[in-house]
Amino acid sequence: MEIAGYISSIFIGIALGLIGGGGSILTVPVLVYLFNVDTVLATAYSLFVVGTTSFVGSFTYFKRGLINIPTAIVFGIPSIGAVYLTRAYVVPAIPVELFQIGDFILTKNMMIMVLFAILMIIASYSMIRKDEQKVDEKPQEQQFNYLLILLEGTIVGILTGLVGAGGGFLIIPALVILSKLPMKEAVGTSLIIIAAKSLFGFFGERSESLINWTFLLVVSVFAIVGVFIGMLLSKKIDGNKLKPTFGWFVLVLGIYILLKEIWLK
């Protein structure tokens, strides 16, 4: 299973480099089901893996001038604050057992995986549906809806802190709609936002003594290798055409996780 886990780590990076996002949604399931990492610790590991791979993936967009720094700052500050506080205070405060109905016990780990599965299903829809916005759309005059950006950034930060997902499927539409960014610029800007908030969230982790740095760095290296492979493939393959197929895979995996956590246990 560990070999399958390392191979899957490469595919996480490939998905990120090839389709510009969504690959990070696989990180927690890989850590939990293939490496048998505790769920809460897996969400912390995921923050580090997602943060480093997104940071590396953002280089190409930065060179092409497709990262909007003012937008990244406006959206990133509330998101970074929310994810840090969530990891430092909210996650440790959640009880191990939330409630019991008959023989059914909702545990902290189960709640996190169920929430993660729901986010996977939502993310799959954003990848499967056809995007009506043209990639070559001319930039519009940038506008900031500060209240909505603050709210969206905070919500994304809380979700990232709880389940360890990058949240690109939430950030990109927000940047397009609320900040009037072209799609390619929104993807590049989302990567730097994901990198910053994920790494800040990771360093807000209270269970640092449990972190196996050797394992975490090895998984991250495999994912980063996958990012470079994905970037090379993106020159020959249109990632947008593969996104719906990947979306269906994420949908099936999300449904499987729901069934496994609620009924198969």
Q: Which of 6-20, 31-45, 102-116 has the lowest mean pLDDT?
A: 6-20
The pLDDT tens digits of the residues spanning 200-241 come to: 888 877 666 678 999 999 999 999 999 899 888 877 877 677
**Mean pLDDT over all residues of the chain?**
84
pLDDT of 135? 44
The pLDDT tens digits of the residues spanning 244-265 come to: 888 898 899 999 999 988 887 6
pLDDT of 215? 95
For residue 80, give both structure tokens: 């970074």
Q: How far apart are CA 93 and CA 87, in angstroms?
A: 10
Q: How far apart are CA 265 and CA 185, in angstroms?
A: 43
Q: Count the neighbouring beta carbons within 10 Å of the beta carbon of residue 137.
A: 12
pLDDT of 31? 93
> What does pTM read for this prediction?
0.84
- Is residue 145 pLDDT above 80, yes or no? no
pLDDT of 95? 93
Domain borders along the chain are 2-262
Q: How far apart are CA 78 and CA 265, in angstroms?
A: 37
3-class DSSP assignment, residue 110 = helix
pLDDT of 177? 80
- Is residue 142 pLDDT above 70, yes or no? no
Q: What is the mean pLDDT of residues 12-36?
A: 83
- Is residue 134 pLDDT above 50, yes or no? no
Please tell me which residue, 19 or 76, carries the higher pLDDT value.
76
Judge whether 255 and 125 are in contact, CB under 8 Å: no
The pLDDT tens digits of the residues spanning 73-122 come to: 988 899 999 998 998 889 889 999 998 888 888 899 999 999 999 988 98
pLDDT of 23? 65
pLDDT of 206? 66
Q: How far apart are CA 134 and CA 42, in angstroms?
A: 37
Q: How far apart are CA 91 and CA 158, in angstroms?
A: 10
